[in-house]
Structure 1
């Protein structure tokens, strides 16, 4: 019975990518201690990863390490981040997503007064240290080192407390058919919540990500308000942005 239960647990988490301890106990009709032992055994295989309050599918193999992503197209990312910073005003409450482009916004926010930044990204937090005018709030949780971001089953609940006016979102793939996609399923809930509950959604992505699709879609392309990239995209994207009232921002 134990072997069958662990196999069923494996199948469930592969299909659903995440689950809370309480939900798993109810689903398999076992005590928390029994489920914790099953989780420990399954974790030893490398299939899942424990986070606060539950488990997630271990997608390290599908997510390129932060350090190697950070080295790619740095100049383009810096240009995009500078353009994005023009959308930040005094007194704003904004969300800066986890990514290798969004973190470059920080030096350009040094003169913004009374700015509150909510983030789940370690690099954004560290980059803010030289700028005392920036009020930083972290979603908290367990540090997922592959993306340098904090993940937590309750992160979305913590975000519900805040009135966030603008969300600066990252992505590993931009597709008209599949939308805004990301390679890490760990951050899916946070990204999806921000898009659905923020006044203005601003996506930052260099041109190499256009036409690509990653593991999970956290929103449709038509659901964003501003798209910022380093060069003018192909006509298909330009026409899509125009027909869906999405502001396209590129360098002059």
Structure 2
């Protein structure tokens, strides 16, 4: 699959200073024409630069978000598991917010047995998945399209969220830590998440195990402000103690609810 191959090219460049076109052809067993199309796409996205005989990583802007397609393919099975566990928290008649992210979007297929469910979202991926199921009522926030996250942002999106009585908010994060809480690489996305944290409803964070002990550009809430954290593996004892002390309920695959 070309998206997966391009993600792997990106990962390989993080390990090597540069890679030749011939090496890329050998690595993936594809033709030079195929690799040249991959290179053109990655160059257009500002991820790589062409040099004599091969390619190197481009110098990205400080704290630039990683392309959505690359994040989407990483830890895919763990994210699907988290989506299923989170969907178990949804009840008939709920009005839920599903955040933009490569984990939260995996909730959608597990919501089909819910009755009178309304999904509010800024995520284009969630919209595209949910509208294929006629039983799900979908409301888009609208706003300015933000390509790195395939989501809508800005004042229009924030104002839309103020109008709706959300019963549960399912949130995404690019990294979490006890010190910095839930973080994100985009200030504009953080503004939307911060407005959701003001809602009088349970706030449920969906993160795979690679996000723990990793803080990115901006914090949008402390972990103690969450009601649930849903993940694919039991975290370290430090997080277990923190969650227990702050009444945060942890959901992981080997246990239903660890705390609370």
* Superposition TM-score, scaled by structure 1 size: 0.75
Going from structure 1 to structure 2, the CA distance change for 1:75 and 1:243 (only over 3 Å counts) comes to: same
1:38 aligns with none
1:177 aligns with 179
2:190 aligns with 188
1:81 aligns with 83
- Alpha-carbon distance in 2 for matches of 1:171, 1:61: 15
Alignment of 1:81-230 (within 5 A): 81-230=83-232
1:251 aligns with 253
Shift of 1:153: 2.1
1:40 aligns with none
Contact residue 167 and residue 198 of structure 1 kept, 8 A: no
Where does structure 2 lack aligned partners over 5 or more consecutive residues? 1-60, 255-260
RMSD: 1.7
Per the alignment, in what secondary structure is the counterpart of residue 137 of structure 2? Answer: strand
- Alpha-carbon distance in 1 for matches of 2:132, 2:94: 19
1:17 aligns with none
| Superposed CA offset, 1:170-226 (max 9, x none) | 001111000100111121111001112141000000000000001110001110000
Deviating beyond 2 angstroms after TM superposition, the runs of 4 or more aligned structure 1 residues are none
Going from structure 1 to structure 2, the CA distance change for 1:199 and 1:180 (only over 3 Å counts) comes to: same
* Superposition TM-score, scaled by structure 2 size: 0.73
2:53 aligns with none
> How many residues get paired?
196
- Alpha-carbon distance in 1 for matches of 2:199, 2:155: 18
Shift of 1:130: 2.3
1:26 aligns with none
